[in-house]
Structure 1
């Protein structure tokens, strides 16, 4: 049985290697460490370490196997658009390690986001999506998962069967009635995927987790571990869920801000249709992301987060 990710990254030998790498890469960047390295956070999908230096803290991140692509993806995006993605100090693509300078507070750390804040974030995301839409081969070469509309129907079937086959007491288990309810929606999932595939908006980078703590105050973006190569409009699903669940902000204005970047490609009426279709495809793709990042979880971690793959797949019933 493979060692759980959180166990491996808290082991003495792994931490020694990570500390050595941080020291070497910091020196390469002209920085001098000024205190002990702190393992700030451990999750089934990633761990973050913080190292104080003579020029402020630096952040180290290591991802679980399914999200290991983030280091290479971040480096690629930063090279293409440093105005949107802060360039890393160092990257180890094989191990999925990344070292970055501290960028200060995130939007969520500073204040409750306003409509203007959200409009700025989704507008920046849309601009980055347009920039990389023709760079698919290089994006996928980083290991970024291909979740394009043409792949959704098969992924839906795989996820339904995968979760149905789990033990009855597993937190992600689909009951027989849930399985039937989902399979009754299979044609709607296929129709939604076909609608997106036929649209004028492209398949491109889908950040996967756009929320107030994944955008710095200067507007630049972070945390691409949930990213996918998917239909452009799917990137709005997480912001939509956050806005309607945590505020009374007018979603329509935020949707319009994202659409304004694509106004020469898609009109407001079609955009709404595409956004509705994306509720089906994103539910499938998000479920698959959660499944992948929990494959190397401990039993306790499965109990804490294991409902997520089923929860997101069941959103198809509500779409």
Structure 2
């Protein structure tokens, strides 16, 4: 590959170590990135923007004409993301991006430009706040289709955190707290039977496990065209109770537009799930239970860092895991 201009953004993690620091890895990755657009008949341009975080390497590659392509490298714990991006492109192509190239062995993927981020559209007033409701309806419809592919997603390496197994997930996360006599650990150990009861009650509602994005905020979906949304960035995903996905977008919408929007968002999200003998009251109770239990998925996400991550990044991950586990005690707003 010829010389290109590269800008590096380390954000709030100036000392975070990723594979980018290794010259051989960096050269192989950039060569792979350059070859794929060429095979698609695209000509790359300058500058390339590199975003380094303890959990990913992301490179924006401009191509001649409008748009860009995006390279992403995941740590081993989320290396499934490339395969998970490719498979739903076959199952639910209207809802996701189709990657032109994936290297599952190295945890690399290349994605096309998906259009305008929902966050940016909100900021410039191009969509109404009520667009959250339609986005969540579409996401819930996608989850319903993906129920039939839950086992296939697990075979791709997507973490299995099925509703019935969430108490075991809780146990593993508590065990990662290396301060055995800490007040937090004692509190969490006391929560164990309550968590098991919540999981049993949630499973009894009968909503099948599906794909939980786990971090579906307003910068994790594109506005492909008015009223049509594309969902992406699956590095925190798991096969779990689908309603666990509601926590992050609902909290973000509440921050932006006030918490009065939450009941509307919940009901819009639940529309595709009605029927099947379940009452509205049962589904709303299930949302409250899943809201609590979604803290487990968020805690798991903080363990998916590059193995070289140390110092501040590793310490932050440990703190965040405990913080999310302690959030199990918080009463849901819905």
TM-score normalised per structure 2: 0.86
Contact kept, 8 Å, 2:18 with 2:308, in 1: the verdict is no
RMSD after superposition: 2.0
Q: How does 1:224-235 map to 2 (within 5 A)?
A: 224-235=234-245
Contact kept, 8 Å, 1:48 with 1:62, in 2: the verdict is yes
Gaps of 5+ in 1: 167-173
Q: Name 1:282's counterpart in structure 2.
A: 294
Count of residue correspondences: 307
What SS class does the counterpart of residue 87 from structure 1 fall into? coil
The one of 245, 248, 251 aligned to 2:255? 245
Cα deviation for residue 294 of structure 1 reads: 6.5
The one of 25, 43, 60 aligned to 1:50? 60
Write the distance in 2 (CA, Å) between the matches of 1:304 and 1:161.
17
Write the distance in 2 (CA, Å) between the matches of 1:151 and 1:145.
12
Higher strand share: 2
Q: Deviations over 1:44-63 (max 9, x none)?
A: 11111111222432111111
Q: Name 1:185's counterpart in structure 2.
A: 191
The one of 62, 81, 84 aligned to 1:73? 84
Write the distance in 1 (CA, Å) between the matches of 2:117 and 2:21.
27
Write the distance in 2 (CA, Å) between the matches of 1:104 and 1:243.
21
Cα deviation for residue 296 of structure 1 reads: 4.4
Q: Name 2:33's counterpart in structure 1.
A: 22
Cα deviation for residue 304 of structure 1 reads: 4.6
The one of 252, 263, 268 aligned to 2:274? 263
Q: Name 2:144's counterpart in structure 1.
A: 130
Contact kept, 8 Å, 1:63 with 1:96, in 2: the verdict is yes
Gaps of 5+ in 2: 1-14
The one of 190, 201, 205 aligned to 2:207? 201
Q: Deviations over 1:214-270 (max 9, x none)?
A: 110121111111111001111111122223334314101111111111112343211
Write the distance in 2 (CA, Å) between the matches of 1:36 and 1:241.
35
Cα 1:103–1:285, aligned 2, differ >3 Å: closer, same or farther?
closer
What SS class does the counterpart of residue 100 from structure 1 fall into? strand
Q: Deviations over 1:297-316 (max 9, x none)?
A: 22132345542111111101
Q: Deviations over 1:159-205 (max 9, x none)?
A: 11221x25xxxxxxx76221121122211100111112222211001
The one of 171, 176, 183 aligned to 1:157? 171
Dislocated runs of 4+, deviation >6 Å: none
Cα deviation for residue 16 of structure 1 reads: 0.7
Write the distance in 1 (CA, Å) between the matches of 2:317 and 2:159.
21
Cα 1:43–1:15, aligned 2, differ >3 Å: closer, same or farther?
same
Contact kept, 8 Å, 2:129 with 2:257, in 1: the verdict is no
Contact kept, 8 Å, 2:80 with 2:107, in 1: the verdict is yes
TM-score normalised per structure 1: 0.90
The one of 58, 82, 95 aligned to 1:84? 95
Cα deviation for residue 31 of structure 1 reads: 1.0
Cα 1:133–1:26, aligned 2, differ >3 Å: closer, same or farther?
same
Cα deviation for residue 289 of structure 1 reads: 2.1
Write the distance in 2 (CA, Å) between the matches of 1:315 and 1:264.
31
Write the distance in 1 (CA, Å) between the matches of 2:327 and 2:53.
24
Write the distance in 1 (CA, Å) between the matches of 2:39 and 2:142.
29
